[in-house]
Amino acid sequence: METEQDSPPPWEVLNLISQYLDPKALALASCVCNSWSAFMSSNNLWEPICQAHFSSMSNLHNLTAVPYRRLYSIASAAAIRRQLPSKPRLSLDDLVFTVNVSTKRKKSSGNNNADVFAAVSKPIRDLAADGVFKFAVEVANEEKSAVLAAAASEVVEAVEVVWNVVLEGWSGVFTMMDCEGKMGLSAGCEGWFSAELPTPACFSGIVGSGIVADLKIGFGGGGRVEKVSVGMLNVVNWRYVSVEDGLRYLDHFLLPL
Identity of the highest mean pLDDT range in 80-94, 113-127, 158-172, 186-200? 158-172
The mean pLDDT of the chain is: 77
Q: How far is CA 204 from the centre of its chain?
A: 10
Q: How confident is the model at residue 143, as a pLDDT?
A: 44
Element (H, E) at 76: helix 68-81
Q: How far apart are CA 205 and CA 14, in angstroms?
A: 43
Contacts of 238 (CB under 8 A, 6+ apart): none
Q: What is the pLDDT of residues 172-203, one digit of tens each?
A: 999 999 998 887 666 667 788 999 998 876 55
Q: How far apart are CA 189 and CA 217, in angstroms?
A: 8
Q: Which of 37-46, 98-107, 108-117, 142-151 has the lowest mean pLDDT?
A: 142-151
Stated pTM of the model: 0.63
Using the 8-state DSSP alphabet, how is residue 186 labeled?
S
